[in-house]
Structure 1
Amino acid sequence: MSTDQNGSSAASSRRSRLTRLVDVAPDEVAALVASFAMFFALLSAYFIIRPVRDEMGVALGKDTLHQLFTIVFIVMLALVPLFGFVATRFPRRYVLPSIYVFFAANLVIFWLALKASPDDRWAAGSFFVWASVFNLFVVSLFWSLMSELWSHEEATRLYGFISAGGTAGALAGPLLTQGLVRVFEPIDLLLVSAALLVASMLASLQLRRLRPAEAKGSAKPAGGGILDGAIKTFTTPMFARIAAFVFIANIIGTFFYLEQARLVAASIPDSASRVLFFSSRDLAVSIVTVLIEVFGTAAILRRFGVTAALLALPVAGAIGVLLLTFHNALWIVAAVMVCERIVTFSLVNPAIKVIYTLAEPSDKYTVQNFIDTVVFRGGDAASGWLFALVGSGLGFAGGATGAICLPLVLIWLRTAKRLGANHEERAAKLSVSD
């Protein structure tokens, strides 16, 4: 048998194995694999530095943390018109690669700065803010590209598997961290993250080549004004509901995050042990999430719909709030956060990204980016100040935190239900028009 025949047979075998896992057409396989690989490299890059960021946050103290979240929100507000300028002036095919390369260069600069002054609180605080901005921008741009290149029907079938690529990266990141942190200083991991970010950018270029018909408008800018995303978010009911869902989700999630930071600082004194704690938790989330994404996400979305996937998170949040209101032990807050993140990554994120496939091409970049960055971090900032105001240093059960969270969870449930119904109506209308 010739080399070409051997190669063709191997490729056919790989396609056969993939089609047993995913409902994918033969002409979609290469692009699906490229999407998976891109998200894998991207989240590997982030989850390598996430434990480093979280450890810096603990070292800076919970009182500084809520102030940093406010700074992150302000930085996001400042970046919205800048991103709007880039998205509306430059071809879409250049936006993601240029921003990814920019962030990779930032990682190298932070490595040099923190290597020179490892105990500099200003450098540590700056990195915490930067990392909190970085992860939202790069992930939002990834999903903007997915929304551009995959249709609504394709997204319903394939987004679970594509999300699994990110989860596999989130699994690989902590594994690499746990292995490398025993040999290198934690700060040296920033260089590994930079290399993986460049690899993700290269995968995005390959993906556009594999989907030329879907990317035919990529030579044009996204369109609209530099604040178009912000305006449309608050004037379009579907986008406003997505924004409300994300905002409340982050208020609740950040309450848990800040409580965890308080408990970790009190019970785990060693810096390296804290990095291992955070990476171990990330590892547990990734293992469970990737199994659900590969074997369950598409089936749940197709059988029960987007609404059921959205409702899963506020239900998990309600249970977590009740548990922590009565007993705020570290193992409980860690378990609640693990559960919420599993539901978010395996069900809620793919469901929201499916909704975005029905948006206009320009909205897939401008609106989605505004919600994924400013609205998301706005929830962080609001939660940080509320936690500082009502917790009084005593933690979740010590203040009025539970009383504030429970009404928010009820609003969250209603928002999820209405957003799901809005999506189903919109999808039905488009199906009829097609």
Structure 2
Amino acid sequence: MLVSTKIPAERPPPVNVRRRVALGEGRTLALSVIAFFFVMTSYYVLRPVRDQLAGAAGSQSLPTFYAIVFVVMLALTPVFGWLVSRFPRKRVIGSSYLFFAASMLAFIPAFIAQDRIGAVSLGRIFFVWVSVFNLFVVSLFWSFMADVYRSQQARVMFPFIAAGGMAGALLGPLLTRLLVQRLGVPAMLVVSATLLLLALGALLALSGRRDINDDSAGAPVGGSILQGAKAAFSQPFLRYMLVLMLLGDGIATMGYTLMADYTKAHFVDNAARTAFYADLDLWTNCFGALLQLTLTPMIMRGLGVVWAMVLPALANMLLLLGLSLAGLVDLHVGGWTVPVIAIVLVGSRGMTYGMTKPASDALYTRTPREVRYKGKNFIETAVWRFGDLVVTTGLVALRGAGVGITAIGLTAAGLACVAAEMGRRAATSPDLLPEQRDDQPVI
């Protein structure tokens, strides 16, 4: 954080900090932003490729997909903690990113033969692979950022880095939308792998800089999923966040499951289905970015974090009530045909990315470091995937039993009301540390 110009000149440390920000941290921040931009662009080029498999297979296959993902994530999260606790950071990052780039290319023959292999068989493997990709690539990036920036610097620098990631999240689906109809689905794997290698180049350049604030010198960073699980069930704030994750993920996964059936019924061509999912990601990320730049900062500064946690759940309730009334129909606006379920999915996800996530991240800054990293990691990996499994299994069973979209929408709207209360309780949890003033050090 830059110091005030009112500080007397005889205090040399703040002056040195200002000089370092001007001369060194600008380059370091630029490399960090570039790296995360390419990481997120690579992921969002890949994501519609994964989602079109769900659309081809239909909702009946999603419980199996998510069950395999859940088991594999439970098994690999401790492995991830062991790797980062045992091996130097540069070695783990380099080998992981190279592995995922190479394995992307290895999937190309399978996607060329997708119609012959079948979306269900390919989806079982690719869903797991993309989930592992997300765990290792994104988690490693933020572990590195925790090494590079001290806590006070992080409060200033991380929003810029996150903005670079949001730019990548916008560009990724746009690239897929523009290229997949011309080049085909397999070519998008080449594009994603190239972007990931560009991210690796920026991270290696950053790791080699001498002016970064890395006291560990790239040493192992540590971490254990077991400590995170214990904290998640023993501390009030994390318990509220755990329930909120299950409820919020349940609403989003319900929309994703219904969308899988919609795309299976309306799209036969793999490229067209991929382009449709890229459009969903693009509109979702545009809405999320708009909220982050406009409404969310005003609410968090003016009304407080409590409202930023509650309002998305109330918006979800209204969207789900609309779904229960309208059903799975298409709206015709001008020359556009928009499914109601797409509006629900874009609105729900956009509110999560654009308001709930910034608000919850702000709350995590008021927790001890062990809670901030290990408990948060457990909730956002194992709990998240468990929610996917439960919701898809339950929804497929309900629809198989003849339960209509009206009853499903009303039930989900009720869950959104519960999510609003959980958001309020999380934001006012008694075990949160007091708010810090700008002149206090960050722990």
Q: TM-score range by the shorter chain?
A: 0.7 to 0.9
Q: Is contact 1:152–1:357 with CA below 8 Å preserved after alignment?
A: no
* Aligned residue in 2 for 1:428: 435
- Equivalent residue runs for 1:104-115 within 5 Å: 104-115=101-112
Gaps of at least 5 residues in structure 2 are: 1-20, 330-338
In the TM superposition, what is the alpha-carbon distance from 1:393 to its structure 2 partner?
Answer: 7.2
Gaps of at least 5 residues in structure 1 are: 1-23
In structure 2, which of residues 339, 344, 355 is the aligned counterpart of residue 336 of structure 1? 344
1:393/1:211 CA distance change after superposition, 3 Å: farther
In structure 1, which of residues 63, 71, 76 is the aligned counterpart of residue 73 of structure 2? 76
- Equivalent residue runs for 1:399-410 within 5 Å: 400-410=407-417
In the TM superposition, what is the alpha-carbon distance from 1:383 to its structure 2 partner?
Answer: 0.6
Q: Is contact 1:30–1:210 with CA below 8 Å preserved after alignment?
A: no
Q: Is contact 1:230–1:367 with CA below 8 Å preserved after alignment?
A: yes
1:243/1:66 CA distance change after superposition, 3 Å: same
**Distance in 2, Cα, partners of 1:359 & 1:93:** 28
In the TM superposition, what is the alpha-carbon distance from 1:242 to its structure 2 partner?
Answer: 2.5
1:143/1:223 CA distance change after superposition, 3 Å: closer
- Equivalent residue runs for 1:192-207 within 5 Å: 192-207=191-206
In the TM superposition, what is the alpha-carbon distance from 1:84 to its structure 2 partner?
Answer: 2.3
Specify the code of the residue in structure 2 equivalent to 1:347.
M
* Aligned residue in 2 for 1:42: 39
Specify the code of the residue in structure 2 equivalent to 1:419.
A
* Aligned residue in 2 for 1:417: 424
Cα deviation digits, residues 31-67 of structure 1 (max 9, x gap): 4433332222112111112121111111112101222
Instruction: Name which of structure 1's ranges 251-260 and 63-72 shifts more when overlaid on structure 2.
Output: 63-72
In the TM superposition, what is the alpha-carbon distance from 1:148 to its structure 2 partner?
Answer: 5.2
Instruction: Name which of structure 1's ranges 344-353 and 136-145 shifts more when overlaid on structure 2.
Output: 136-145
* Aligned residue in 2 for 1:12: none
Q: Is contact 1:285–1:341 with CA below 8 Å preserved after alignment?
A: yes
- Larger gyration radius, structure 1 or structure 2: 2
TM norm structure 2 = 0.80
Cα deviation digits, residues 272-295 of structure 1 (max 9, x gap): 322222112222223333344345
Q: Is contact 1:317–1:409 with CA below 8 Å preserved after alignment?
A: yes
Q: How many pairs are equivalent?
A: 410
1:138 aligns with 2:137: yes
**Distance in 1, Cα, partners of 2:349 & 2:23:** 32
In the TM superposition, what is the alpha-carbon distance from 1:28 to its structure 2 partner?
Answer: 4.8
Q: Is contact 2:33–2:160 with CA below 8 Å preserved after alignment?
A: yes
**Distance in 1, Cα, partners of 2:87 & 2:145:** 19
* Aligned residue in 2 for 1:16: none
Give the CA RMSD over aligned residues: 3.2
Q: Is contact 1:46–1:173 with CA below 8 Å preserved after alignment?
A: yes
Q: Is contact 1:163–1:350 with CA below 8 Å preserved after alignment?
A: no
1:240 aligns with 2:209: no
In the TM superposition, what is the alpha-carbon distance from 1:423 to its structure 2 partner?
Answer: 8.8
- Equivalent residue runs for 1:2-81 within 5 Å: 28-81=25-78
